[in-house]
Amino acid sequence: MGISMAICELDSVNSLCKTGKETVVKARVDSVQGLEAFADYDEVVSIEDAKKVFGPDWEGFLKRNRLDGDRESFLLDKVKKEEDVAKLRPVTKKEYSGWLVLSKMPQAQASDAIKKAGPDNLLTKWDTIPLDETNEICGKCGMSWDKGRGCIGSFGPENSQLPEIAKKYGCSIVARVPELAKTREKLSAQDAAELVRECKVLKEKLEVEGKGPARRYGGVVERLEAMASLCAQNGMRFYFL
């Protein structure tokens, strides 16, 4: 596996994704009991119940709605014909996903739901935006340091020799990258300024190391410097992963 480098983009008010990533729209909880009015759910019909509803017209129902009769159940919204939906409505059951729609909840309840769900069970507004749209936003963002491709970029493979070269020339941050990738420690804007200095040293010393290292790691050092310069200028943290 390779190592990547990234900025803490939410540290900057200039990040175009900041509002979206900080706006939580849904929270997933273990039980929605008592909160059903705010909960996401699927309307599900069992094949057994549907067969009872349509009787001898079962095959016709499957054909006109393009459904697979070999499954145990299907979602009501997959039924294309409104008249068939109406017939199935009485045998439809709600299956709750555990997701609560926070905009439907009083603020105090929404805050409590976020706390109970924990950070790994939250859905932000940014998460709901299609990938092609997020890519377009990232391309326009001033925090997209990797030539408009986003705020995370490649450092290289875990067995990269760049950290060893960096250690040789006293560049302690680059020398620690494999360790930092394991801990995902957030480094400060002051560290970013130091990393800029290290990159300038490494640009010079890679030439001393020979054409091979210069070609192999020159681009990596340029990316490191671009990321570090942005963080130093905007007071942002950064990390490796």
pLDDT in tens, 136-163: 999 899 999 888 788 999 999 999 999 9
Quick one: CA dihedral 113, 114, 118, 120, positive or negative? positive
**Mean pLDDT for the stretch of residues 125-132:** 94
Confidence (pTM): 0.77
Q: Residue 219's closest CA among 206, 201, 209?
A: 206
**Strands (E) located in the chain:** 2-7, 24-28, 39-46, 73-75, 93-101, 122-124, 152-157, 238-240
Q: 217 pLDDT exceeds 90?
A: no
**Mean pLDDT for the stretch of residues 203-219:** 87
Q: Residue 170's closest CA among 198, 208, 209, 210?
A: 198
Report which secondary-structure segment, H or E, holds 82. helix 82-88
Contact 231, 7 (CB under 8 A): yes
pLDDT of residue 161: 93
Cα(7)–Cα(145) distance, rounded to whole angstroms?
Answer: 9
- Determine which of 101-115, 119-133, 181-195, 199-213 has the lowest per-residue pLDDT on average: 199-213
Q: 116 pLDDT exceeds 80?
A: yes
**Domain regions of the chain by residue span:** 2-22+129-240, 24-124
**Mean pLDDT for the stretch of residues 22-35:** 93
Q: Distance of CA 104 to CAs 39, 99, 111, Å?
A: 9, 12, 12
Question: In the chain, what percentage of residues exceed pLDDT 70?
Answer: 100
